[in-house]
Structures are given as structure tokens and as C-alpha cells.
Amino acid sequence: MQNERQPCTYILASDRHGTLYIGTTSNLLSRLAQHRSEALPGFTSRYQVKRLVHYEMFGDMAHAITREKQLKNWQRDWKIALIETTNPDWHDLAPGLGLAPL
């Protein structure tokens, strides 16, 4: 997945069943690097939310933003179920995209 730009909605977690963060970006690798280095002060750096546990790619940013808003309105149990359908052990998916393990 290199450094290509593609709209994406993603979920980060602090740990299995830990604190969740939902975001949207046009460059997932770059955004993950920002979260991991704590380059952007805020929620993810405060709560150590750095593990990529789910992501969805989209053809355009409008659809990615719509999905982000939908997920943010979901109940926590629904978000956990979504994560566990494709990542039941809550592995960090970022190394599979080319980033170093946490």
C-alpha cells in the first residue's frame, strides 16, 4: 500500500477491548505515523491509542467521511463486533501495511 493517497476510515485501539478512536484520512500510512509518534497532540496521544485494528478503503473522501460519522454513532458493542469480524485477536494491522510493529 506504499504512500498512495486513498480515502480511508480507520479504527485505532489502545489494547484489546480498550479505548477506541475512529478517523478518516486520505493517506493511512502517514496518518498512522503521526498517531504513533504523537506528532498530533490530543485524544490518541493522551490515551495511547496507536494500534490499527480495522480500516476500510473508499473511492472518494465523501464516502469515507460518511462511514466515519456512521461508525462514531454506533454503540460500542457494534464497533467491537465489526473489529472482531475481520480481526478477532485485535492484532495491529499496521505492520502488514509496511509500518514497524509497536
Quick check: is 75 in a domain?
Answer: yes
- Domain with 60 in it: 8-91
Question: At 14, phi and psi to the nearest 5?
Answer: -80, -30
Is a pLDDT exceeding 60 seen at residue 13?
yes
User: What pLDDT score was predicted for residue 102?
Assistant: 87
Q: What is the pTM of this model?
A: 0.93
Q: Is residue 97 part of a domain?
A: no
Q: Which strands form 20-25's sheet, in the order they lie side by side?
A: 20-25, 8-13, 51-57
- In this structure, are residues 34 and 40 in contact, taking their beta carbons and an 8 Å threshold? yes
- Give mean pLDDT, residues 29-45: 90
* Number of structural domains the chain divides into: 1
> Which pLDDT does position 41 carry in this prediction?
84
Query: What pLDDT is recorded for position 1?
Result: 44
In a domain, 99, yes or no: no
Is residue 56 in a domain?
yes
The more confidently predicted of residues 19 and 40 is: 19
How far is residue 5 from each of residues 14, 29, 83, 98, measured CA to CA in Å?
A: 25, 9, 23, 15
C-alpha cell at 64: 469515507
How do residues 68-97 score in pLDDT, each as one tens digit?
Answer: 999 999 999 999 999 999 999 999 999 999
Check which CATH number belongs to the domain holding 58 and give it. 3.40.1440.10
Quick check: is 20 in a domain? yes
- Helix and strand totals (H; E) in the chain: 4, 3
| Residue 96 counted as domain residue | no
Whether 39 and 88 have beta carbons less than 8 Å apart is answered as: no
Summary mean pLDDT of the chain: 93
